[in-house]
Structure 1
Amino acid sequence: MCKEMSFCRLRTHQWCFLLFNVLLFHALLFEQARKLDMNAVRANDTHWYVISNPRVCTDQDVFLLTLVFSTPENSSRRENIRGTWANRTHVQGFLVQTLFLLGSSHSPTTQAAIMVESKHYADIIQGWFIDSHKNLISKTVLAMQWAVTYCPFARFILITDESAFINILALGEYLLTLRRHPEDLYMGRVVHQDMPDRDPRSTRYVSPNQYSHKYFPDYCAGLAFVVSQDVARKVYVASSGVVAPVPYDVFVGLCAQRAGVVPTHSFRFSGERHIHYNICCYRFLFSSADVGTSELPLIWNDLQSKGNYCNRQGKQKANNFRYSK
């Protein structure tokens, strides 16, 4: 409390000094991100990647790059996604590229199957770290690194999880309506004043010694969020200065805060919530969590239909979702 009161009583010139230093730091980080040279990564990509697929974006004007966090063993889910929402490769003529980001497996059999899968589809990126919940930050940093290294002209990058349903058409059409140059965009279901989980039994446990603040900064829920190319670069540069072992979506929020980027809230992202299937809702929303493997094809087939099959009750549910927080 004493420290907080002392901080509040800072004089005008002290506030100006602090503000100047913050602005200077952000300016230096911005310049570092703008001049980011990834040639060293390209020259030694086997240090970072088991599979890099570096030519996926070559000679292609990618509008939306989608990186799906997947587990090595879950090839059936990847196949399911390829046949449904990832099957949309263009929005109003603009290219959408979807890739799967994996860590490594302890199983030689699983790894051999992944190599075959990558050769067949050319949509796998794999890092050397073991794929686990504890290594999600490593996966996140690798995602940003790959995007700025091998797909540096993609206007937007969507980070999502294999458990989600993504409405690429709705999201892409929305991004096309933005009346500004696509910069400083970090958009998703924004979480406000989230408190660190202090339960040692939890997978999201953060000890006070590791992160002492009462609240996390605002951040986008990790199931699905979008960043513009410049934000991917800023987050990647800022990540080297963020060492708190927090959940990976909070980690992105900390990097964004360090880079002076403010998250933009969109209620069309469901966050960690599963939205009970309704065609009206699913035509409107951008994402839904925990969509079952058997449910994905049903949703996809419905959304491909040209007719409007929303009944009155369905439209009401969509409106309820539209105006929910």
Structure 2
Amino acid sequence: MLIYQSNLYFLLLPFSQVVVESPVRPLRSLVRPCFIFLLFLSTVIVIILLGFPDRFSQTDWWKNLSLYTYYHRWTNPDRHRGPSPTTIPPTTVPAPPSATIRPLPTNHYHFGYPRNYHFIVDEPDKCNTQTPFLVLIVPVAPGNLAARDAIRRTWGNETLVQGKKVQTLFMLGLPGGLGAQELQEKVNQESRVHHDLLQSNFKDTYHNLTIKTMVILEWLVSRCPEASYAMKIDSDVFLNVQNLVSMLVNPDTPKQNYMTGLVWWHSPVLRNPNNKFFLPYEVMAESEYPPYPLGFGYIMSMDLPKKIMGVTPQIKPIYIEDAYLGMCLKRLGISPTNPPRKSLFDVNPIYSYGRCKLSTVVAVTTTKVSQLLRYWQDYTRPGPPC
């Protein structure tokens, strides 16, 4: 037993000597290597930034860290509230791009808009019997019956708000692919039942969203010019119609040259070909878009549809429909207006909304039909919301 303890003592002796001798020395020994590494890393970063400035200025990764960050960057009223709702300054055109950039062919980003579409499903008398104060038009795919039914069961069923008539309609294009004829027959039957569908003879695709928006404006001009306001609203949005009407009947709300929503000021034109919203210099030479409200939901006074349609022949359309509206507004010398509170409109919120929050908004996006239905059920429960 004595021999075992003695051997154990000699085995542990070197470690005990190190600890007793200098407990701080290992930490000190790490300081110099860490300092050298950080100095080397900083030098490499500086060399890269100085040696390849063009490459970094043309890369959009820093603008796309997350939609949430991007959204707050360009809608923050503290950064730039934007000009008054009258005129906006001209956008300066930057110098030509570097010869090393080779944009993709422009025909992918422009599209033909012959302005000769016609309605194959229509409700031409919707505004004749009683002129609505507010017209809500929802662009939606022909096959998305679930979204249409959800809206009919929720905010689309609000027809008289604070004594103001509200009319909700859905805008569709033509179905494509296998089963298109069968789907079209279902659309026709749905129209006979609900009388709230508008359908034009353009192909219903993502890259035709601008065409869809222009056709919405055409319908408003020709079928409902006496209404006071119109709203284009996506099918995945919760809409608080009460708050929307309250905002519009406010005496401070303009009755002409008025477009509002979640307005983006100084939104950059993205040059990264891998980005969903990439546009080459040949399509748009400016570095920033004119101000525009995000496409998930924007409101306009009813004088604007005709004015916008009047300038569209002068502006070649791009497939980013909300940005294209901003280009039309700029040509008209009109700027969109920030809402009374930025929190009235929210896109892709990080957290689900509760009943109290839903009672304070105008429009907020949802992730699926079940969430929209749950929001509405929660919002309409009896009792105080907060």
TM-score by length of 1: 0.78
Q: In the TM superposition, what are the counterparts of 1:246-325 in structure 2 within 5 Å? A: 246-266=319-339, 267-274=342-349, 276-310=352-386
Q: Matched residues in 1 for 2:116 and 2:160: separation?
A: 31
1:70 to 130, 140, 156: 140
Deviations 1:171-230 (A, max 9, x none): 011111133661111001110111112233333221110000010011100000000001
1:90 to 144, 160, 167: 160
Any idea what SS the aligned residue of 1:102 has? strand
For 1:114-133, list aligned pairs within 5 A.
114-133=187-206
What are the Cα deviations for residues 104-142 of structure 1, in whole angstroms up to 9, with x where unaligned?
112111111111111111111111111111101100100
SS in structure 1 at match of 2:359: helix
1:223-257 residue CA offsets vs partner (Å, 9 max, x unmatched): 00000001122112122221142510001111111
Higher relative contact order (CA 8 A, sep 6+): 2
Contact 1:210 1:244 in 2 (8 A): no
The amino acid that maps onto 1:62 is: P
| Bigger Rg over Cα | 2
1:176 equivalent to 2:249? Answer yes
- In structure 2, distance between residues paired with 1:47 and 1:131: 13
> Distance in 1 between the 2:346 and 2:317 partners?
23
Q: How does 1:226-245 map to 2 (within 5 A)?
A: 226-245=299-318
Secondary structure at 2:287 match in 1: coil
CA distance in 1, matches of 2:234, 2:253: 28
Gapped regions of structure 2 (runs ≥ 5): 1-86, 89-114
What is the CA-CA distance between 1:271 and the residue it aligns to? 4.7
Change (3 A) 1:104 1:168: same
SS for the counterpart of 2:263 is strand
1:61 aligns with 2:131: yes
Corresponding letter in the other structure for 2:381? S
What aligned pairs does 1:118-157 form with structure 2 within 5 A after superposition?
118-157=191-230
Alignment of 1:161-240 (within 5 A): 161-179=234-252, 182-240=255-313
Deviates more, 1:231-240 or 1:86-95: 231-240
CA contact (8 A) 1:220 1:249 kept: yes
1:100 maps to what in 2? 170
CA distance in 1 between counterparts of 2:147 and 2:165 reads: 23
**Residue 201 of structure 2: SS of its match in structure 1?**
strand
